[in-house]
Chains A and B, each alone.
Chain A
Amino acid sequence: MAELLSQPFSWLNLIIMVSAGVVVLGVVLVFVMYAIYFERKVIGWMQLRNGPNRVGPWGLFQTVADVLKLMIKEDIVPAKADRFLFLIAPIIAYTPAFAIIAVIPFSENVFFADVNVGILYYGALSSISITGILLGGWASNNKYAIMGGMRSVAQMVSYEVPLIMSFLGVVLLTGSLNMKDIVAAQQDGMWFIIPQFLGFVIFLIAGNAELNRTPFDLPEAENELVAGYFVEYSGFRFAFFMLSEYVYIFALSSVMTVMFLGGWDAPFGLTFIPGGVWFALKFLLLVFYLFWARATFPRVKTQQLMGFAWKVLIPLALFNVMITALFKTISQAG
């Protein structure tokens, strides 16, 4: 797939690229549908319920039906909304989420773009989504929505900093921003979750906040802001916001798997199981964690959230970078 990028442009290549994109989109959509199903089942069990069990065997088609419903629902634009911005906001929120997937290597052979600045690309694109959320909140011309939008921006901007800084430890250890190189480095040594445990924890927390999920789901805080920034959205535009949230779960868990859990590297020498399966297992573990957190925690307050980012996570992340640099210098000198 990667060699396509270096070949001269041809119609055949374009068709291959587009169809590959469509395939990925399909995979992502199926993932999102079943992630929602998985989430509802897991949380259902944690809450002594059955979860969806009506549509299809074990309720497997529940989310399919939900998506179908959202698609045929009326697309309502409030009369006082800023129509143009209201319409494009979900797209702005979703597109970068999808674009991120391009740089994630799922196994040695399955990846789309071998970008040298993969991590930077991730950080850069994921902050574009904020624009979509803020626009959505603002364009709705709804007080709850604008509050949700404001909260969201404040939160995402704050948590972007520790998130990116927690990368730095890994980058220092590998000397590369390329995700494939990072996995390769872990295959030679140990998974970075061990030397970079602090970084992993910071990433986990900051990532959770980036995703706007419990306990950091303030932008949509149902009990305060009703639904936050997408309160006025319905039908497929609402689905787009939902979709981008779940695609971010997909992307973030993938990135975390690559950076801290050794990507497709098989533990204990169990190499007869293909790397893709290992990747999926580690990835699902992280996804499960996110759902688990949602079933367990209450929501934090805005001040607490910001205080936590600036007073705890960022100093910790800086400390982590410093220690890693120190360690590296000493080990190289010695």
Chain B
Amino acid sequence: MAVRTEEMLLNVGPQHPSTHGVFRLVVKVDGERITEAIPVVGYLHRGTEKLAEDLTYTQIIPYTDRLDYLSSMTNNYALVQAVETLMDLEIPERAEYLRVLAMELNRVASHLVWWGTNLLDLGAISPFLFAFRDREFIVNMLNELSGARLTFNYMRVGGVKWDAPEGWIKKVEEFVPYMREKLKDYHTLVTGNEIFLARVKNLAIYDDKEAIAYGMTGPVLRGSNVKFDVRKNQPYSIYDRFEFDIPVGETGDVYDRYMVRMNEMEQSLRIIEQAVAQFPEEGEIIAKVPKVIRPPEGEVYTRMESSKGELGVHLVSKKKDKPYRLKLRRPSFVNLQLLPKLLVGRTMADIPAVLGAIDIVLGEVDA
């Protein structure tokens, strides 16, 4: 005999420990089982795209810091990349290396935050602190480079704002073996844990077709066995000079997404190692660009691989010092679309696990 149960409407967020910000999820639950989930976003909408229309190109850069505030360097790059493509600029060697170093360090830092918070969502408290200790090294290095710990505002159209201080490259070089050691520790601490595996294996599976149809990008796409990385498949900046692999998952469950990100950190370290080795002794850090940047009339869509996925910039220029239209294709926003589908039929306990594996940053979702 079936027990008569009553469905309950539960409002998870916008203030909730594991929605990672002001994300709201309206779930219908039957006991613990989710029958429907509706994501509600927009609580952090600041109208970046509108604001950009009244700002010069250099002024927009700090606004991109505040999109995915965990990997501001990649956001900086996404904007300058679009402008540089439109202007067809030649970037000095040294600037390119500094950019790559900054972006890859930032990617590791961003993944570290993901690792810590994702495990925190699963109820393990220690990884969070471990991750933040190691992220601290990166944040300090980027601080030395840019003068900020989170919102770097480091890149400029044509290059970067500051040159690396004395001894900085050495620090980065020393960081790589240190971080490799720590990643091994992380695997020992978490990856083999039976409870962790029981929580994430075969959870929220989607295949490559579904991932592509829903526009998933980044680790959430590669977790479903799509070997695609913008850095490799359409190299921008100087990524074609480095050797690195694209980690992919096989089944497309939460565990695969976890492993993809863990391996991505290792690949980022590989890139950093090579970039440090090839780093030019001296050279310009910014190309000759006019004081007032007026890209020629035209329209571009550029994409790059941020830590969350494909960060695209659609820029329409009317040969003014301000963009006519700047559209940011934010990976977190797009990746989030699949969430309701993944949650239906799962239990309450899976909400943080599935959401954590998508790895959203609300600054980016809401822009």
Question: Taking the complex as formed, is B350 at the interface, i.e. its CB lies under 8 A from any CB of chain A?
Answer: yes
| Partner of A224 from B129, B133, B348 at Cβ < 8 Å | B348
Interface residues of A in 109-137 (CB under 8 A from B): none
State whether A225 and B129 are in contact (beta carbons under 8 Å apart), knowing that A298-B195, A299-B122 are contacts in the complex: no
Question: Taking the complex as formed, is A218 at the interface, i.e. its CB lies under 8 A from any CB of chain B?
Answer: yes
CA distance A296 to B195 in the complex (A): 11
Contacts of A223 in B (CB 8 A): 17-18, 120-123, 352
CA distance A222 to B120 in the complex (A): 10
Interface residues of B in 19-37 (CB under 8 A from A): 31-32
The residue among B31, B123, B198 with the most chain A CB atoms within 10 A of its own CB is B123
CA distance A267 to B265 in the complex (A): 50
A49 x B129 contact (CB < 8 A): yes
A300 x B195 contact (CB < 8 A): yes
State whether A215 and B123 are in contact (beta carbons under 8 Å apart), knowing that A48-B133, A224-B349 are contacts in the complex: yes
CA distance A76 to B189 in the complex (A): 41
CA distance A46 to B128 in the complex (A): 12
Q: How many A-B residue pairs have CB under 8 A?
A: 83
**Nearest-CB residue, chain B, relative to A47:** B129
The residue among A295, A297, A304 with the most chain B CB atoms within 10 A of its own CB is A297
Q: Mark A250-274, 1 if CB is under 8 A from B, else 0.
A: 0000000000000000000000000
Q: Mark B1-30, 1 if CB is under 8 A from A, else 0.
A: 000000010100000111000000000000
On chain A, which size bracket covers the interface?
Answer: 20 to 34
B347 x A299 contact (CB < 8 A): no
Question: Taking the complex as formed, is B199 at the interface, i.e. its CB lies under 8 A from any CB of chain A?
Answer: yes
On chain B, which size bracket covers the interface?
Answer: 20 to 34
Q: Mark A200-215, 1 if CB is under 8 A from B, else 0.
A: 0000000000000011
A298 x B17 contact (CB < 8 A): no
Question: Taking the complex as formed, is B193 at the interface, i.e. its CB lies under 8 A from any CB of chain A?
Answer: yes
**Nearest-CB residue, chain B, relative to A301:** B349
A218 x B349 contact (CB < 8 A): yes
| Partner of A297 from B16, B31, B193, B350 at Cβ < 8 Å | B193
Instruction: For the complex formed, measure the closest distance between the CB of A209 and the CB atoms of chain B, giving whole angstroms.
Output: 13
| Partner of A214 from B119, B121, B123 at Cβ < 8 Å | B123
Write the residues of chain B forming the contact surface with A, with a CB cutoff of 8 angstroms. Answer: 8, 10, 16-18, 31-32, 119-126, 129-130, 133, 189-190, 193, 195-196, 198-199, 347-352
> Can you name 12 A-B residue pairings with CB atoms under 8 Å?
A143-B8, A217-B123, A221-B349, A223-B18, A295-B125, A298-B199, A299-B195, A300-B198, A301-B199, A301-B347, A302-B32, A302-B347
Write the residues of chain A forming the contact surface with B, with a CB cutoff of 8 angstroms. Answer: 43, 46-49, 143-144, 147, 150-151, 214-215, 217-218, 221-226, 294-304
Identify the 10 closest CB pairs spanning chains A and B, nearest first.
Answer: A299-B123, A298-B124, A223-B18, A298-B122, A47-B129, A301-B349, A223-B352, A298-B123, A223-B121, A47-B126
